[in-house]
Amino acid sequence: MRRLFILIMIIVVAYISKPAWEEKVEASGFDTVLSKIEEMKNNPKVQDAFDQLYQEVNLLLVKLDESFRDLENTSDTKKEDPVEKPALTVPSDQTFSIYNIELGDSKESVEEEVGEAKRKSSNEYGVSWYAYHENYRNFFMVSYDQNQQVNGLFTNQDLLSSDSGIKMGVSKEVVQNELGEPLTNIRKGLTLYQLQNNGEQDVYQIDGSYVTIFYDKHENDTVTAIQIIDGNLETNKKNFYTVGSSELKEGFEYQLFDLTNATRVEKGLNVLSWDSLVRDTARKHSLDMAEQDYFSHTNLEGQSPFDRMEEDQVAFRTAGENLAYGQLSSIFAHEGLMNSKGHRENILQPHYEHLGIGVAFNEKSQPYYTENFYSN
């Protein structure tokens, strides 16, 4: 398609510039023809015409490339079968439910309704998040106790229902009017942990569980996500930060990847593919920051994200990097990034195609997150 287009453009420009190079070629042999071609090639008017053609074709190719990508994205969206949102009902026993699932429900009943999980990954509570979705539509995560009963729930899509009228998209004011003042700390044994008070989330103790409601600063402080953790599960998490391990590192990486795609799909954007090569680039930068005690896109050797990607032979046309540090989990990291304008723009960049995420922990078990996005 592109080669045909270029050939047509060359013919058109050549025809337009015809007076600049046309001379009668006598049938006096092949040498004469070659000499005429050589004269034509050296003609300044012909060179100017082809220089202009080269620049115009390059510009057109860039525009065509973007148009083809947009068309492919639109075509892919049209090809996908529509995924119906479940009919949400008011919870029967608790204040909140997600996808009509409540704490205490059995894993069997959950998977009878939605099928098997797309991913299982370790989380900061010493259990696993099971991610359920249909190509990141109707996305939610569930954790189970040793009896295979639900002890944790999360979603950042419109799957929340409650007996109080709180749902995705309502304002912080509605939440606080209904639930009252949020917690400022959580006691675990003899230790009192102060909760972060940055206005981006509220924590409530409801129905014997801890409910964290996240708000989107860029959408008028409306509810954008919710996490529900059973009280016993929260109590069993003795320390503020969970000791880092290879399982938790990988769990945080895949959770942040899934959360990013769930957000993109909710905003009508394409799903990013996981890229192991750039994940290694991201991991090395997170580890370097954790070990060298700094937090910056530019490392101590002066390398930018693009330098590091090129060094690792990641071929990209456009690229971007997000960093986060010190959040309790990938859920908190992602919601924080979405409330930061530049990071949000990377997460919601329509032209990105691939994503790799690297996590590392410092000596205090504080996690460093690096997201590397790119297209090629």
CB 27: neighbour CB atoms within 10 A? 6
In the structure encoding, which two tokens stand for residue 276, read together?
């192991």
Contact call for residues 83 and 134 (beta carbons, < 8 A): yes
Nearest to 193 by CA among 145, 241, 160: 241
CA neighbor of 245 nearest in space, from 127, 117, 361, 108: 361
CA-CA distance, 94 to 162, in Å (whole number)? 8
Q: List residues bridging with 322 in a β-sheet.
A: 371
pLDDT score at 86: 85
Can you give the pLDDT at residue 79?
43
Distance CA(92)–CA(111), nearest Å, equals 19
Phi, psi of 175 (to 5 degrees): -60, -50
pTM of structure: 0.79
Pairing of strands 273-274, 318-325: unpaired
pLDDT for res 247: 98
Single-letter amino acid code for the residue at 375: S
Side chain identity, residue 352: Y
On whether the CB atoms of residues 323 and 342 are closer than 8 A, the answer is: no
222: amino acid identity, one letter: T
CA distances from 138 to 209, 329, 362, 369 (A): 23, 21, 35, 25
Three-class secondary structure assignment of the chain: CHHHHHHHHHHHHHHHCHHHHCCCCCCCCHHHHHHHHHHHHHCHHHHHHHHHHHHHHHHHHHHHHHHHHHHHHHHHHHHCCCCCCCCCCCCCCCCEEECCECCCCEHHHHHHHHCCCCEEEECCCCCEEEEEEECCEEEEEEEECCCCEEEEEEECCCCEEECCCCCCCCEHHHHHHHHCCCCCEEEECCEEEECCCCCCEEEEEECCEEEEEEEEHHHCCEEEEEEEEEHHHHHHCCCCCCCCCHHHHHHHHHHHHHHHHHHHHHCCCCCCEECHHHHHHHHHHHHHHHHHCCCCCCCCCCCCHHHHHHHCCCCCCEEEEEEEECCCCHHHHHHHHHCCHHHHHHHCCCCCCEEEEEEEECCCCCEEEEEEEEEC
Q: How far apart are CA 297 and CA 277, in angstroms?
A: 18
Q: Which residues pair with 372 in a beta bridge?
A: 321, 356
- Walking along the chain (376 residues) 10 residues at a time, the average pLDDT comes out as 47 41 34 45 49 44 46 45 80 93 97 97 98 98 98 98 94 96 87 86 96 97 98 92 96 98 97 98 98 98 97 97 97 98 97 98 97 96
